Structure 1
Amino acid sequence: MSSLRSQEVEGVLVVYFSDAKILDDTRIQQIGKELIELTGKVPDAKMVLNFEGVGFMSSAMIGKLVLLNKKCKTDDVNLKLCNIAPNVGEVFKIMKLNKVFEIYKDEEKAIEAFSKKGWFG
């Protein structure tokens, strides 16, 4: 069973997670593999990971996100995250990952951010 589902919204590949808790190592490996595969299918080099419904994730999953971010940078894919649960967001802040990832409140804001060009939009 796939751990992810995706759809194109306004030229952006939006990826949704099927698990509320991303803690199991086998599942994390599967999610990591699927995310890397999706980077090759990104239209216009724009991708949003929508964490709506995900309440918990392990440090191993956060590690997969860091690897995905590196892959996206290598492949010139612009990656944004949205709908991160407050407790997960706190972990991102503690690990200073809020400076590594572009994180938005919701999917709409993340997609809008792709169209902003510099200081004045």
Structure 2
Amino acid sequence: MASQPSRKRRLEVEDIGDIAVVNFVDKKILDEQNIQMIGDDLFRLVDELGRRKVLLNFGNVEFMSSAALGKLITLHRKLQAVQGKLVLCKIAKDILDVFKITKLDKILTIYPDEQAGLQGF
């Protein structure tokens, strides 16, 4: 039986009560394949694991391509469809500027730190 090629984990998920707190492993989320894997992992939280409250902590992320923004919007919609909620926190200023330009800051719930994000549910 052939073994699956090991793939580096892109996300670290910690459960705090009924909230799935997601930390990104990569400092730069730019590569299309990585973004696809991150999206798949995030969607799995909702679709397969039945999570309804997801907090994305961007504390480790320095750069993020616009393709990654699409995954966040899809995740937001998936959670909305099941009466769930997506909250983001600790977004670097440069990335936050992109959120503001694209008006994503109006669609997504964003907090300055994880504690505030947890209380946002």
TM-score (norm 2): 0.88
> 1:74 aligned to 2:76?
no
Aligned residue for 2:120, secondary structure, equals: helix
Query: How far apart are 1:39 and its partner, in Å?
Result: 1.4
8 Å CA contact 1:13, 1:42 repeated in 2: no
Q: 1:88 aligns with which of 89, 95, 100?
A: 95
> In the alignment, what sits opposite 1:97?
104
Query: Aligned letter for 2:71?
Result: K
SS at match of 1:103: strand
Question: Match for 1:23 among 13, 22, 30?
Answer: 30
Equivalent runs, 1:1-121 vs 2, <5 Å: 1-40=8-47, 41-43=49-51, 45-114=52-121
Distance in 1, Cα, partners of 2:83 & 2:9: 25
| Aligned mates of 1:39, 1:83 — CA distance in 2 | 22
Which 10-residue stretch deviates more, 14-23 or 74-83? 74-83
Give the match's secondary structure for 1:80.
strand
Instruction: Show structure 1 runs of 5+ residues with no match.
Output: 115-121
Question: C-alpha distance in 2, partners of 1:65/1:46?
Answer: 14
Match of 2:4 in 1: none
Residue 75 (structure 1) shift: 1.9
Which segments of 5 or more consecutive residues in structure 2 lack a partner in the other structure?
Answer: 1-7
Contact 2:110 2:117 in 1 (8 A): yes
Offset at 1:42?
5.0
- Identity between Structure 1 and Structure 2 (%): 42
Per-residue CA distance 1:8-56 (angstroms, 9 max, x = gap): 113311011000000000000000000000114355x211001111011
